[in-house]
Amino acid sequence: MNSTIQSPSSLPHEQQPVAWIAGVGASAGLGAAVARRFSEGGFTVALTGRTAERVESIAAEIRAAGGVAHALAGDISNEATVGELADRVRELGPLTAAIFNAGGASRAPTLELSAANFEQAWRTGVLGGFLFSQAALRRILNNGLNAACSTGRGSLLFTGATAALRGKPPFAAFAASKAALRSLSQTLAREFGSEGVHVAHIVIDGGIDGERLRQSAPQRVQHAGDDGLLQASAIAESYWQLHHQHRSAWTQELDLRPFKETF
């Protein structure tokens, strides 16, 4: 190994690559798992979520494990807030990975779905995705890395769902927002791929074994059995691998599901 090459973890904190993860909530959730994986890989991680206490708790956990983590709580669907968050991210070092994981599975029959709830799903999952992408791309494109690098300048990854491919009741709001987010990812991939930014959309086809599902659908968790649900840490590993793909063979869309899931 060339002794002049430094791993991310051996660099001073201000020179370490930065991963910005939006949609960090539960400690056992996907956002937290992605943050842990990138921290383990030597990244400074910036964590964004609506609830300051939860975000800070996860950041503190990562710091206790020896990582560098910053809690940047805020509403990702608010343009001014996203701008402020992006300015804080810029101060941490060169942004090379941005992961959009925001948006929940809102559930209601169409005739009972309020316009306010439909709009909220859109604001979080689509407008939030756009604002986050815009802010992240500006920093990735100016992170000092050469687009000719084997892995490119950086990556922009979106957490999607099966609903992005086919909608079904009672998930009208969720399906509409996820389909729009998928289309946004395709647009950005075509627009910024040649500039060295790897944009990928990850279809999560199945339930994630975490706090939210265990509280809302304990019977589903029990019925799934061993490895019948997606493990957040396993999904996070796929995000890590996507970020490191060689630019000659980038994945634009990846679908992940448990081995038991029918499709």
Select from 79, 32, 33 the least CA-distant residue to 51: 32
Asked if residue 10 has pLDDT above 70, the reply is no
Angle subtended at Cα 133 by Cα 132 and Cα 136, rounded to the nearest 5 degrees: 85
Rounded distance, CA 189 to CA 69, Å?
Answer: 28
In this predicted structure, what is the pLDDT of residue 14?
65
Select from 50, 51, 132, 148 the least CA-distant residue to 95: 132
Asked if residue 174 has pLDDT above 50, the reply is yes
Q: pTM of the entire structure?
A: 0.93
In this predicted structure, what is the pLDDT of residue 13?
63
In this predicted structure, what is the pLDDT of residue 9?
56
Convert the pLDDT of each residue in 54-81 to its tens digit.
Answer: 999 999 999 999 999 999 999 999 999 9
Cβ–Cβ < 8 Å for 156, 40: no
**What are the structural domains, with CATH classification, of the chain?**
18-256 (3.40.50.720)
CA atoms within 13 A on the CB side of 163: 23
Mean per-residue pLDDT for 4-31? 78
Convert the pLDDT of each residue in 209-218 to its tens digit.
Answer: 987 888 878 8
Asked if residue 200 has pLDDT above 60, the reply is yes
pLDDT band with cut points at 50, 70 and 90 for residue 33: very high
